[in-house]
Amino acid sequence: MSCFTFLKVMMVLFNLTIVIGGGVLLGIGIWVSVDSGSFLNIFGPLSTSVMQFVNVGYLLIAIGAVLFVLGFLGCCGAQKESKCLLIMFFSIVLIIFIIEVAAAVVALVYTSLAEIILQGTVVQLLKTQYNKTSDVTTVWDTTMKDLKCCGLSNYTDFNDSYYMTHHSGMYPPFCCNSSDPCSATVAEKSKVPGCFPQLLSEIRRNAGVVGGVAAGICALEIAAMVVAMYLYCRLDEK
């Protein structure tokens, strides 16, 4: 078997795996979007940490769709020996790789700024959507119950919120260590910590795994680009 034929077969099998993986992610994304409660119950505190910052269902649907299309292009491009499909595959992988590198650099350089933006976004979400939107309410109820925390920074994140407006000025019961109605006085005495430090701790605890997976994905992307370009160039010789 020649090198070209071997790489062509490997390219087809590799991208077929990507197609299947993309389909699985699409299915999981739809499941999470429809039934986020089951997702939270299965994956526990880490899932609640992630869902504070991104809509996991829509994110998985987007990633699954991209992977499905990418795998289809690579698989068909190699099988049919189509230069057009191969160069499209190469270009998309290159764009994704550049975006990943840029995102990693921004995350490392502007960590503090990213945290400030996240805090402002999530607090606004708490004020306007908690106890109003079922998905947001489920995620935060699970988070505050499991981590024994209140709000993002503390109970004051609920000041002038939709929840307080519809509960006679009271705070969520998670903000108080008392069976009494959770008023501002009781919440202040309870000193229940905010969820943000604990959420960051959960994410950082798994940073090594995430970093390893990211490095592996980048290596696969580079290998895929090299193989796609090799096949593309060899087609000129056939």
What DSSP state is assigned to residue 81?
A: T
Is 142 domain-assigned?
A: yes
Q: CB count, 10 Å around CB of 43?
A: 15
Please state, in angstroms and rounded to a whole number, the distance separating the CA atoms of residues 48 and 146. Answer: 9
Please state, in angstroms and rounded to a whole number, the distance separating the CA atoms of residues 189 and 108. Answer: 37
| 189 lies in the same domain as 219 | no
Q: What angle do CA 212, 218, 219 make, to 5 degrees?
A: 90
Is 78 domain-assigned?
A: yes
| 8 lies in the same domain as 105 | yes
Q: CB count, 10 Å around CB of 82?
A: 17
Q: How many residues does this entry show for the chain?
A: 238
Question: Could you tell me the pTM of the whole model?
Answer: 0.61
Is 116 domain-assigned?
A: no
Q: What is the mean pLDDT of each run of 10 residues along the chain (238 residues)?
A: 80 87 83 66 51 62 87 88 89 89 74 69 87 83 87 91 93 90 92 85 70 80 88 77
| 190 lies in the same domain as 211 | no
pLDDT in tens, 125-145: 889 989 988 778 888 888 888
Is 115 domain-assigned?
A: no
* Confidence at residue 46, expressed as pLDDT on a 0 to 100 scale: 47
Secondary structure element (H or E) that encloses residue 15, with its range: helix 3-34
